[in-house]
Amino acid sequence: MPNKLLMVDDEADFREIMGKFFKRRKIEFEMAAGCREAMDLIGQDSFDVVIMDVSMPGLDGIECMAEIKKIRPDMEVIILTGHASVNTGLVGMKKGAFDYCLKPIDFDELLEKVLLARERAAGKAGG
Amino acid sequence: MQRMLTFIKELFSPPPSAPPMTPAELKDAFRKRYRNFRALLTANNNALQAMAELEKIYYSGESYRMAVIRSKTTTILVNVYKMISSLLEMSGGRYKDLEVIFEKISHEIEKIIEKKPSFSQGPFILPLAEVGEKDRAQVGEKMANLGEIVRVPGCVVPQGFVITASATRHFLTADHIAEINRRLQLLDPDDLDGLLRTCAEIRKDILDIPMPPDLEELLHVHYARLEMVSRPGCWLAVRSSALGEDAAGVSFAGLYRTILNVDGDGLVAAYKEIIASKYGARAIAYRRKRGYRHEDIEMCVGCLVMVDALTSGVTYSRDPSEEESEVVRINALSGIAKGVVDGTRTTDLYLVSRETPHAVVYREIRQGQGKASDQCADSSLTYGQIRKLAEMALRLEGHFGKPQDMEWSFDHQGALTILQSRPMLISQPQNAQEEAAPSSRAENGEQPILFGGICASTGIACGTVFRVNAASEMPDVPMGAVLVLEHPLPEWAPLLSRAAAVIAESGSEAGHLATVSREFAIPALFSLAGAMDLLADGETITVNASARSVYLGCRQDLLTQRAVRKDIMAGSPVQRILTEALQYITPLNLNDPNAPQFKSSWCETLHDITRFCHEKSVYEMFNFGREYKFDQGAAKRLVGEVPLEWWVVDLADGFRAGADAQGQTIRIEDIVSVPMLAIWQGISAFPWEGPPRVSVRGFGSIIFQSTMRPELDPAVASALTTRNYFLVSKNFCNLSVRLGYHYAMIEAYISDLLTESYVTFRFKGGAADMKRKAVRARLLAEILQTFEFRVELRSDSLLARVKKRPTEFLERRLKILGYLILHARQLDMVMNMPNAVERYKEKFLTDIEKMLS
């Protein structure tokens, strides 16, 4: 059973666009609109990479990543940030994100990062 | 010399004893180190690329936005952080102090980029009579100037008061502003329709914010006072007076609203409208273009009793269209001054001597001509009035110490009131050749299709005609179009950032759009009758505003006379921020890996950290084999028919299966790394002719440098200082070449997956002086550009890339690079000799052509 990708973002429009993109690239994925939904999904299915928007109501992306890492320390997380502050990306990295992407998304760049994250996740799993 | 020996000793002596590991563990540890090495190199590429891009926009003279600075800086910070993490993992935490240094640098950068302008708190309303220079921070530029000029003898300004910046912050709170900024950040900068829509929404929201009761009450108290000194129910002109528009050469002309004929009941609504005009499309586009953040500008509002104007106009104490001119320029029309500055009406023009008794040297009565006017053709000013205006303009120039742009009205009793005075924006220095343009027209035999009008901004440009008709929507103007308008309304200012030139059927050089055109150095030709009818959409024309001529087609002969555009961002807050931030990002202090300063503790910039991490990561890879006695991962010397000395480390599958993994040496036949083999073909295509013959002067310079830098001594610069490492796998190769101060790196990943494939080349330094090093780097850059490399060049530092191309294409590029790193060695020494650049360029191109055929 191949691993899936989990996309967490509160914006429905953005999830729809990303869903189309993943489908076209034949990447198995699930969507969550917030942190709680993401945590539920992670408990039920096998994911290796999470793409997470930083600014979300309730728990924000960075806090949510910390929650996920508590139960799945190996999970590779790619965070998505706007350009409100130079520090958000860096804070995410320090808290253990694999990488970050700026919104609006460059699809090729994101795909490249997803593939690298998968490679690293597989490396960890293999020892 | 001592440190060289230390390094060599480090490299070849038995390493510190590493913990014993089983072969399987060793293999695994090596794989892990390689993975981190790859991650570090990727991060290195990304960081350096973003640094090059940031420098490029900084030096381009074009405009850029905070969003770009933030995103590039984030990219750099994140990637440098990744490099440090990878290096720590590779080295078992050996360079831990890098984290502290990085923390310090990133903190400084964040402080610079996120710094907000500071504002002081003061009273909500100040009577204009009490306002002066000292109150600039509360009342804004315009009102501070107006308050100030009351001190000039004979100068009368309207009665009035100013609603201060403190009042604005009371009305429009930090929360409101945060929400507005959030919405503006979401906008695509090129989406004019989106911008207009968002601006309309923001305006509505601001108008809906309730006026704080204390401010409203205060407003009415001050209005009542004005009624007492003028007349009950008096009308006010409510004008913007923005704060923070203090940079040199920035006009902010006509960006914000002025509302006329406002009475006590309409005051609150008018005030809100002025505040909202800070977020008008024009103002936003202008700030973006000139490098102002929205928070850099604060709105103050002047409320002035209206003058019952008979004649109004604008006076420049020195004619802006001619440098060193000794005349005062007056544009005048009947009624209020609005028609002058918004470009809807044609004005009378007077040029008046700056010397007393101020003789009128030129007069052009334009009112009453053309379709924009319904006035009669009499002069709008008497000679006495003209003299009075000239005297006043010169007095104001004397008071402020620089030429002034003064707005005024004469009332029905003949009294002169000054409505505004501000430093004049001097037009681009006129290109001497431009004035000769009309005669070249005659020689050429080609007549202009349109001739005449008023030159509102000098210059020559070519583009396709785009006629702008409907005022209701911002049209989709293509980049580089020539805008053709009926009236040069200030509303069209956002379009100027896309325009090559502007033509209008009405208007004068005194209008706001004229000011903004001059500021952006876009040629503008106004009051050109018949332009809308004669010019067809999509037609290519050349506008020579200076010669008041329009030609069909693109006239290269005229375009070559163009003056260079000035730096549009100069002096702006955004440029200041980038200047400061770059100090912590791009300078490179760690040049020489052999120098005692090549230590983490000497890293002062992010560039230093990347350089340090890269060097140490190569070292960590290179040393793994010896450190752990892991022969498979040890460096092997390349032997056979090879020039110079090369070492190879196999990272994974770069050697032929069955090659002697335990040996100290390797032969080129045993290497299967695709990118390395391509580079090697380039290196071995032609024999190196040895160091170029150096002139006596050049040689003296080497000797001089060598006394200070022993590694450059020809006796020392032997194989040992020439450390060339290949780190290879089947698809990957990283080659570092060094000779003294000269450093070159080729890195490539070649894969059938196009998105992953790339070739990167970095080149920096040399032993000659900076000028010759830079010439060599430029020579290489030019050659690489002819082979479709994307090249970034700053002085002697060169970065060239190709990516996402087929294998065969990339292999040929690697051959070229292999050839160049060998044959460009020490070439910097002769780069000051006559024709050296042309000669070597020709030789290199010929050799490369032969090699690739």
| Chain A residue at shortest CA distance from B70 | A86
B537 in contact with chain A, both atoms CB, cutoff 8 A? no
Interchain pair A83, B755: CB under 8 A: no
Domain boundary among B287, B305, B323: B305
CATH of the domain at B497: 3.50.30.10
| Mean pLDDT comparison of B95-99, B292-296, B684-688, B788-792, highest-scoring range | B95-99
β B348-353/B258-262 pair status: unpaired
Q: Does B196 have pLDDT greater than 60?
A: yes
Residue B300 lies in a domain: yes
Residue B62 to residue B104: CA distance in whole angstroms: 31
Lowest pLDDT segment from A21-35, B86-100, B310-324, B607-621 = B310-324
Q: What is the DSSP letter of B177?
A: H
B240: enclosing H helix or E strand = strand B236-243
Which residue in A87, A121, A85, A114 sits closest to A99, CA to CA? A114
Residues of B in Cβ contact (< 8 Å) with A102? 71, 74-75
Cβ contacts of B82 on chain A, cutoff 8 Å: 93, 99
Question: For residue B354, with 0-12 CB atoms within 10 Å meaning exposed, 13-18 middle and 19 or more buried, which class applies?
Answer: middle
Q: Are residues B680 and B760 in the same domain?
A: yes
Stretch among A99-113, B565-579, B661-675, B691-705 having the lowest mean pLDDT: B691-705
Predicted confidence at residue B647, as pLDDT, reads 87
CA distance B220 to B315: 34
Is A81 in Cβ contact with B74 (below 8 Å)? Answer: yes
Chain A partners of B70 at a C-beta cutoff of 8 Å? 83-86
Q: For residue B103, tell me if it sits in a domain.
A: no
pLDDT band at B507 (very low <50, low <70, confident <90, very high): confident
- Please compute the mean of the pLDDT values over residues B68-86 and round it to a whole number: 92
pLDDT single digits (tens) B31-56: 888 888 888 988 988 898 888 888 88
Is the minimum CB–CB distance between B112 and chain A shorter than 8 Å? no
- Return the pLDDT at B256: 83
Tell whether B845 is within 8 A of chain A (Cβ). no
Cα-based distances in Å from A82 to A86, A103, B48, B421: 10, 5, 22, 42
Maximum Cα interatomic distance, chain A, rounded to a whole number of Å: 39
For the cut 80, the answer to whether the pLDDT of residue B444 exceeds it is no
User: Is B724 strand, coil or helix?
Assistant: strand
Main-chain dihedrals φ then ψ at residue A52, nearest 5 degrees: -135, 125
In a domain, B618, yes or no: no
* Phi, psi dihedrals of residue B41, rounded to the nearest 5°: -65, -40
Whether residues B684 and B832 share a domain: the answer is yes
Give the Å distances, CA to CA, from B473 to B125, B280, B560, B724: 37, 14, 35, 62
- Under an 8 A CB cutoff, do B78 and A83 touch? no
Q: Say whether both B273 and B316 belong to one domain.
A: no
Q: Has the ipTM of the complex gone over 0.85?
A: no
- For residue B81, the model assigns a pLDDT of 95
Q: What pLDDT digit, counting tens, does each position of B209-263 carry?
A: 999 999 999 999 999 999 998 889 999 999 988 887 654 456 666 678 888 889 9
Instruction: Judge residue B803's burial from the number of C-beta atoms within 10 Å of its C-beta, 0-12 exposed, 13-18 middle, 19 or more buried.
Output: middle
The most confident of A37-46, B316-325, B417-426, by mean pLDDT: A37-46
Same domain, B272 and B299: yes
Domain CATH for B364: 3.30.470.20
Residue B447 pLDDT more than 50?
yes
| Total domains, chain B | 4
In a domain, B421, yes or no: no
Cβ of B120: how many Cβ atoms within 10 Å? Answer: 8
Residues B301 and B167 in one domain: yes
User: Mind listing the pLDDT tens digit for each residue in B750-765?
Assistant: 987 766 788 999 888 7
Distance CA B529, CA B683 (A): 67
Q: Is residue B791 part of a domain?
A: yes
Query: Cα–Cα distance between B728 and B504 in angstroms, integer?
Result: 64
- B residues 356-395 lying closer than 8 A (beta carbon) to A: none
Tokens 């070849």 sit at which residue?
Answer: B12
Tokens linked to B361: 């040297």
Q: Which of A96, A45, A101, A105 is nearest to A75 (CA)?
A: A96
* pLDDT on residue B433: 37
Establish if B136 belongs to a structural domain. yes
- Asked if B115 is an interface residue toward chain A (Cβ–Cβ < 8 A), one would say no
Query: What is the reported pLDDT for B435?
Result: 40
Give the E-state strand segments of B79-148 in sequence order: 125-127
Tell me which of B83-87, B725-729, B843-847 is least confident: B725-729
State the 10-residue block means of pLDDT for chain A, 127 residues long. Answer: 86 88 90 93 89 88 92 92 77 90 83 85 64
Read out DSSP for B567-621? -TTTT-HHHHHHHHHHHTTS------TTSTT-SGGG--SHHHHHHHHHHHHHHHH
Give me the residue from B35, B71, B755 closest to A83, CB to CB: B71
pLDDT grade for B377, boundaries at 50, 70 and 90: low
Say what the alpha-carbon torsion angle B579, B581, B582, B586 is, to the nearest 10 degrees: 170
In a shared domain, residues B253 and B144: yes
- The pLDDT, as a whole number, for residue B607 is 92
Q: What pLDDT sits at residue A3?
A: 83
Lowest mean pLDDT among A43-47, B122-126, B531-535, B693-697: B693-697
pLDDT of residue B704: 41
Q: How far apart are CA B165 and CA B139, in angstroms?
A: 6
Same domain, B206 and B300: yes
Q: Do B77 and A90 lie within an 8 Å CB cutoff?
A: yes
- Split at pLDDT 50, 70, 90, the class of B678 is very high
* Torsion A27-A32-A35-A36 (CA) sign: negative
CA B647 to chain centre: 43
Give residue B58's pLDDT. Answer: 85
Which among A86, A123, A127 is the nearest to B77, CB-wise?
Answer: A86
Nearest-CA distance A64 → chain B (Å) = 20
- Together in a domain, B679 and B828: yes
Question: Is B741 part of the contact surface with chain A (CB cutoff 8 Å)?
Answer: no
| pLDDT at residue B414, rounded to an integer | 87
Mean pLDDT of B166-178: 90
Q: Give domain status of residue B834, yes or no.
A: yes
Is the pLDDT reported for residue B683 higher than 80? yes
Q: Give strand ranges (E) for A1-127.
A: 4-8, 29-32, 47-53, 76-81, 99-102
Residue B141's contacts (CB-CB under 8 Å, 6 or more residues apart) are B241, B242, B243, B245, B246, B422
Round to whole Å and give the CA distance between B522 and B494: 13
Q: Higher-confidence residue: B366 or A96?
A: A96
Listed residues B510, B528, B559: the one ending a domain:
B559
> Average pLDDT over chain B, rounded to whole?
81
Kindly determine whether residue A88 and residue B74, on different chains, have CB atoms separated by under 8 Å. yes
Q: In terms of domains, do B691 and B832 share one?
A: yes
**What's the domain range around B526?**
432-559
Average pLDDT rounded to a whole number, residues B837-852:
92
Q: Please, which residues have CB within 8 angstroms of residue B363's CB and are 6 or more apart in sequence? A: B348, B349, B350, B351, B379
Identify the H or E element spanning B163: strand B160-163
Mean pLDDT across the stretch B113-139? Answer: 87
Look at residues B305, B339, B363 and tell me which one is the last residue of a structural domain. Answer: B305
- What pLDDT score does B253 carry? 65
Enter the tokens of residue B830. Answer: 């002769």
- Which residues of A sit within 8 Å Cβ distance of B? 81-90, 93-94, 99-100, 102, 108, 111-112, 120, 123, 127
B174: domain CATH number is 3.30.1490.20
Task: For residues B682 and B827, state if they share a domain.
Answer: yes
In eight-state DSSP terms, residue B692 is P
Number of helices followed by number of strands (H, E) in chain A = 5, 5
Both B687 and B818 in a single domain? yes
The secondary structure of residue B200, as a DSSP letter, is: H
Percent above pLDDT 70 for chain B: 83
Higher-pLDDT residue of B193 and B15 is: B193
Contact B524, B507 (CB under 8 A): no
Question: Which of A54, A86, A98 is the mutation pick for testing B, counting most B CBs within 10 A?
Answer: A86
Domain annotation for chain A: domains and CATH numbers: 4-113 (3.40.50.2300)
Of A86, A111, A112, the CB nearest to B110: A86
Residue B697's pLDDT is 47
Asked if the structure places residue B284 within a domain, the reply is: yes
Residue A35 and residue A27 in contact, taking contact as beta carbons nearer than 8 Å: no
Per the CB < 8 Å rule, is A86 touching B185?
no
**Are B371 and B474 members of one domain?**
no
For chain B, count helices (H), then strands (E): 25, 28
DSSP code, position B485: E
**pLDDT score of B844:** 93
User: Are B185 and A83 within 8 A, CB to CB?
Assistant: yes
